Amino acid sequence: MDGAFPRDLTWFKDAVVYETHVKAFYDANGDGVGDFAGLTEKLDYLEQLGVTCLWLLPFFPSPLRDDGYDIADYCAVHPAYGTLADFRRLVEEAHRRDIAVLIELVVNHTSDQHPWFQRARRAPPGSSERAYYVWSDTPERYQGARIIFTDTERSNWAWDEVAGAYYWHRFFSHQPDLNFDHPPVFEEVLSAMRFWLDLGVDGFRLDAIPYLVEREGTNCENLPETHAIVRRIRAVLDRDYPGRILLAEANAWPWDVRPYFGDGDECHMAFHFPLMPRIFMALRREDAEPIVDILRRTPPLPEGCQWGLFLRNHDELTLEMVSDDEREYMVLAYAQDPRARLNLGIRRRLAPLVDNGRRRIELLNSLLFSLPGTPILYYGDEIGMGDDVRRADRDGVRTPMQWSSGPNAGFSTALPQALYAQPIVDPVYGYAAVNVEAQLSDPSSLLQWMRNLIRLRKQFKVFGRGTLEFVPVSNRKVLAYVRRFGEDTLLCVANLSRHTQPAELDLSAFAGAIPLEMLGYTTFPPIGRGPYFLSLGGYGFTWFELRAAPPGSAP
């Protein structure tokens, strides 16, 4: 067991997380698929970017019909990505660079190719083997549960010829749900967890966690029985693996996600799903209100807990947590091309969502890195990679990392036809125009800008740990908030409009303090008791440290 990785128990609060697929990052053995060895080779890149935590998408044996979220063996790696020894080396090398490694715990469902399911469908009804999954003689049970993959699935039940019964699945029909009412299932989950924890991983993203348990007459989400399971998982971590964390994937309103933190005895982190579309909405409407509103309605968290913030990830930009009107607005604003839509969301990367607008990309990242929570970057967004809406499902945002303008984007030495997916080649976002090598040698590139921003964030614990107070502003196009932690007080101001905006900020609570602009170390006029005037260029943002005035000076 790798216990040597140094950390304080709340390390995740100061982390900068980077989400990637092993298959998409770098192919070291030239077979066309990214692998652990390739990712290990590129750890220096991540370290220089400033990343302190890797989140790896599923890399387990799988038929890959849901890109690995359909697991066929919980305690092994998919041979295309290397061996367990390669994985172990990746973890060791990451830890050597002070980079933690989070992996996926996908236990709501398995692949239908998992031996448990193959065994269950053949086992007699009433047997323990059969009871690993949720069976029914009719598709009428649990009608209160919604369908999640609305574009592909019509029911949460699928008929199994071999079993002669229906089985329950919240996602694709090839992903039968495990039955957490059957105690051996929980034991299996624990042993899979221990397997990876003993290999040194620093925590798990709990995939699809709200759906573990089903009960008649409910929507089968967020049930007390599900929370009881999360608490049992957490108790094992606290007892045997302190410092390892749980990150909940619960796509729900903040008040419904809040219980996943329990009394500090469930998850350490959870994604803030509803904030993300509201950031995009605020930008398009040039109005700070959607961000202020959702954060005002976000309950405080117990000690030792943290939100995970993100702009984009490997899935569609989900619009489940907005009203029907807001969804319609978002689709009109960001997905005019019907091919960009999937289920209830938009399958596009960050840069194309904002028409490759550099100032907008910077503005969105300034919010990601300064609002309360831990920022999570999606691979490739740090260089402004594009997507391809013509590809199936979410494949258009999962293309090879663009390392250089060389063959296969520098991702692999395989023949192009052997690649797991072709890199993006269009004139704007294609690898000839957008790649790491070019951006490393261009001091003005997005990549260099991201490195700077991350470096700055890491100098101030207040970003990851501070309180949030909104500052009253005379202009709704401007968002201003103060973050405080210990001695540090920061003021963050963002102009959501494309045009220059004036703003009068009510900073009277800070009268006497002197704002020091953090990117250029420029001292601004002291804050008085009246409105504080700022003007910001289109999509501009500024961060200030509010420093106490020298003794004797009058506000």
CA distance 248 to 244: 14
Q: How many residues does the chain have?
A: 555
Q: At residue 524, what are phi and psi to the nearest 5 degrees? A: -105, 165
Query: Residue 311 burial (CB < 10 Å; 0-12/13-18/19+)?
Result: buried
List of E strands, 155-254: 157-160, 165-168, 203-206, 245-248
Site string for ligand NOJ, 164-203 (x = CB under 6 A): -------x--------------------------------
**Nearest residue to ligand NOJ, by Cβ distance, number only:** 69
Out of 18, 26, 69, 132, the only residue in the binding site for ligand NOJ (CB under 6 A) is 69
Closest contact distance (angstroms) between CB of 207 and ligand NOJ is 5
50 vs 345 by CB, closer to ligand NOJ: 345
- Catalytic site includes residue 249: yes
Concerning whether 31 is annotated as a catalytic residue, the answer is no
Instruction: Retrieve residue 308's tokens.
Output: 């995970």
Please, what is the minimum distance in Å from the beta carbon of residue 236 to ligand NOJ? 23
Provide the 10 A C-beta neighbour count for residue 470.
Answer: 14
Please identify, using beta-carbon distances, which residue of 69 and 532 lies nearer to ligand NOJ.
69
Backbone angles phi, psi at 345, to 5 degrees: -150, -165
* Distance separating alpha carbons of residues 99 and 238, to the nearest angstrom: 21
Q: Which residue has tokens 């323990």?
A: 128
And the tokens for 51? 């990343």
DSSP 8-state assignment for residue 486: T
For the CB of residue 275, give the shortest distance to ligand NOJ in the complex, in Å.
Answer: 17
Q: Of 276 and 462, which CB lies nearer to ligand NOJ in the complex structure?
A: 276
The one catalytic residue in 19, 207, 266, 388 is 207
Is-contact 133 188, C-beta < 8 A? no
Task: Indicate which residue of 104, 249, 316, 393 is catalytic.
Answer: 249
For residues 83-112, which are near ligand NOJ according to CB under 6 A? Answer: 106
Binding-residue total with ligand NOJ (CB under 6 A):
9
CB closer to ligand NOJ, 119 vs 314: 314
**CA 363 to CA 85: how far, in whole Å?**
41
Instruction: Indicate the residue among 207 and 382 with the shorter CB distance to ligand NOJ.
Output: 207
Site string for ligand NOJ, 204-223 (x = CB under 6 A): ---xx---------------
153 vs 545, beta carbon nearer ligand NOJ: 153
Q: How many CB atoms lie within 10 A of CB 455?
A: 12
Q: How far, in Å, CA of 72 to CA of 67, rounded?
A: 12
* Residues in contact with ligand NOJ, shown as a per-residue x/- string from 308 to 327 under the rule CB under 6 A: ------xx------------
d(CA 202, CA 56): 11
Residue type, 201: V
DSSP 170: S
Q: Is 271 in the site for ligand NOJ (CB under 6 A)?
A: no
Binds ligand NOJ (CB under 6 A): choice among 14, 66, 177, 316: 66
Q: Whole-angstrom Cα distance, residue 99 to residue 229?
A: 29
**Residue with Cβ nearer ligand NOJ (14 or 188):** 188
Residues lying near ligand NOJ in the complex (CB under 6 A) are found at 66, 69, 106, 171, 207-208, 249, 314-315
User: Which active-site residues does the annotation give?
Assistant: 207, 249
